[in-house]
Amino acid sequence: MATPSKAQLLTDVQALLKKRYKVAPAVEKLTILEAVVYGICHEDSTREQANQALAKFKDGFFDWNEVRVSSLEEIQGVLATMTDVEGRAFRIRRFLRQLFEKTYGFNLEPLTKKPQKESVKALEEYDAMASDFVLATVTRLALQGHAIPVDASTLRALTRLGVVEEATDIPALRSSLERAVPKNRGLEFSELLEELAHDTCVEGEPDCPRCELRKLCPTAEAKKTESASAKSTKAPKGKAGKAKSAD
């Protein structure tokens, strides 16, 4: 995927999306624990929803131990605006429980001093990291690494844009994106892609006529051709119909 044409396509995508969306200021550096919770909240949700949820955890609970011992219903209350609140609440509490069982505390910051590969390996022991999106979020926001998190929403947009080859798994796709988009553009690229996935390239029918990428997107092109051919097959029938009634 890191062929010049794919890299160029991604550069063009970024330049076009920049015309339409304003990228919000970057999230301040998070601790590893906060980045895990943020990642779980942010997967297939907007940045705003994830920011609000993290703020509610930090302001509405005494500490992370209180979240750990809370009922799932209480945690779900923080996530109310998102999809899959049950699954997210379970994953957050499971992570806090695992962390406490392993460390008797809630501090993973010593990992930020280690080489990134070593930190990632240690983090992979937690079930929350089964999601590559969460792992990439932690890598970017807490370990300050180059990572472009991909969730189902951004995968959908990348597939429609023809960036993803069939049967590419998310970790493989992510590393190919990270090779094609340099670190200094990575954050902006991710955020613009998220905007696209939650604005026009939504689940179900994408809103291609309103999309900035419609001229380079194969899906938009295919839809246009399909609708033109549907119109042209209807037209002769209409004429024939008129001709018949005129007879």
**Given the structure tokens 């379970």, which residue do they identify?**
90
Could you tell me if 200 and 210 are in contact, meaning their C-beta atoms sit under 8 angstroms apart? yes
The dihedrals phi and psi of 21, each to the nearest 5 degrees, come to -110, 145
Nearer to ligand SF4 among residue 40 and residue 157 (C-beta): 157
DSSP code string of 180-240: HS-HHHHHHHHHHHHHHHHHTS-SSS--GGG-TTTTT-HHHHHHHHHHHHHHHHHHHHHHH
Q: List the one residue from 5, 217, 245, 246 that touches ligand SF4 (CB under 6 A).
A: 217
x/- letters, 192..211, toward ligand SF4 (CB under 6 A): --------xx----xxx--x
CA separation for the pair 169, 152 (Å, rounded): 11
Nearest Cα to Cα of residue 13 among 168, 243, 191, 144: 191
Q: List the one residue from 91, 140, 160, 198 that touches ligand SF4 (CB under 6 A).
A: 160
161 is a contact residue toward ligand SF4 (CB under 6 A): yes
149 is a contact residue toward ligand SF4 (CB under 6 A): no
Could you tell me if 112 and 143 are in contact, meaning their C-beta atoms sit under 8 angstroms apart? yes
Size of the site for ligand SF4 (CB under 6 A): 14
**In this structure, how many other beta carbons lie within 10 angstroms of the beta carbon of residue 86?**
12
Q: Tell the smallest beta-carbon distance from residue 227 to ligand SF4 (Å).
A: 13
Nearer to ligand SF4 among residue 4 and residue 204 (C-beta): 204
Q: List the one residue from 36, 150, 157, 177 that touches ligand SF4 (CB under 6 A).
A: 157
Torsion over CA: 156, 162, 165, 170 (sign): negative
Q: Tell the smallest beta-carbon distance from residue 182 to ligand SF4 (Å).
A: 22
148 is a contact residue toward ligand SF4 (CB under 6 A): no
93 is a contact residue toward ligand SF4 (CB under 6 A): no
163 is a contact residue toward ligand SF4 (CB under 6 A): no
Window 218-237: residues binding ligand SF4 (CB under 6 A): 219-220
Nearer to ligand SF4 among residue 27 and residue 211 (C-beta): 211
Structure tokens at 92: 């957050």
Nearer to ligand SF4 among residue 190 and residue 219 (C-beta): 219
Nearer to ligand SF4 among residue 88 and residue 160 (C-beta): 160
214 is a contact residue toward ligand SF4 (CB under 6 A): yes
- Secondary element (H or E) of residue 138: helix 132-141
Nearest Cα to Cα of residue 157 among 196, 210, 204: 196
Binding site for ligand SF4 (CB under 6 A): 157, 160-161, 200-201, 206-208, 211, 213-214, 217, 219-220
